[in-house]
Homo-oligomer: A and B are copies of this chain.
């Protein structure tokens, strides 16, 4: 699904080849009108953090969807499973707060993970309303593999960055949303 997308700039350019051949034939068209044909200027947008952060996130998520598909995990499933695994007994409400999800949207997610045998719901020790979530052995084994796959894919996707730059980027992004 996310593989055949019209990516920006260079990535899809070789496949389409735009107007390059024709322009080679008649190279001196009126440049004022043709200016936008070869290269589109998105200079202002590139000064916006929101735009760049979103484009970078989508770029990574695209590969994430592909690589994590064998585990049956989409980004949200992965985030939920990872948080449950590292916080045994965590409640739905806590997951919503930690991951910025809305309770109604988490219900189906939890049910799905439970029906797949990846998590268990146990009564909360101190609150009869709440339910503690726990990763099963199967779920834990899956997440060990999934987290490794996710880490590998991220290194690959951020290959143009040095480890130091990668660390810096993570820290700066967290300064925005935390």
CB proximity of A7 to chain B, nearest CB, Å: 6
Is A158 part of the binding interface, using a Cβ–Cβ cutoff of 8 Å? yes
CB-CB < 8 A to A64: which residues of B?
50
The listed residue (B5, B7, B41, B91) touching A86 by CB distance below 8 A is: B41
CB proximity of A145 to chain B, nearest CB, Å: 14
Assembled-state Cα–Cα distance A147/B45 (Å): 9
CB proximity of A152 to chain B, nearest CB, Å: 11
A34-B126, A44-B82, A53-B56 given; 12 more Cβ-contact pairs under 8 Å = A6-B102, A7-B100, A45-B82, A46-B170, A49-B60, A50-B61, A54-B57, A59-B176, A161-B172, A161-B175, A161-B176, A169-B173
- Residue among A44, A79, A169, A176 with the highest chain B CB neighbour number at 10 A: A176
Q: Is the CB of A95 within 8 A of B59?
A: no
CB-CB < 8 A to A1: which residues of B?
none
Is A137 part of the binding interface, using a Cβ–Cβ cutoff of 8 Å? no
Is A9 part of the binding interface, using a Cβ–Cβ cutoff of 8 Å? yes
Give residues of chain A (107-142) contacting chain B, Cβ–Cβ below 8 Å: 125-126, 132
Known: A173-B56, A178-B9. A150 touches B75 (CB 8 A): no
CB closest chain-B residue, reference A169? B172
- Residue among A33, A87, A100 with the highest chain B CB neighbour number at 10 A: A100
Q: Is the CB of A177 within 8 A of B59?
A: yes
Assembled-state Cα–Cα distance A147/B48 (Å): 10
Assembled-state Cα–Cα distance A60/B45 (Å): 14
The 8 A CB mask of A1-35 against B (1 = contact, 0 = none) is 00001111110110010000000000001100111
Known: A52-B173, A89-B33. A42 touches B160 (CB 8 A): no
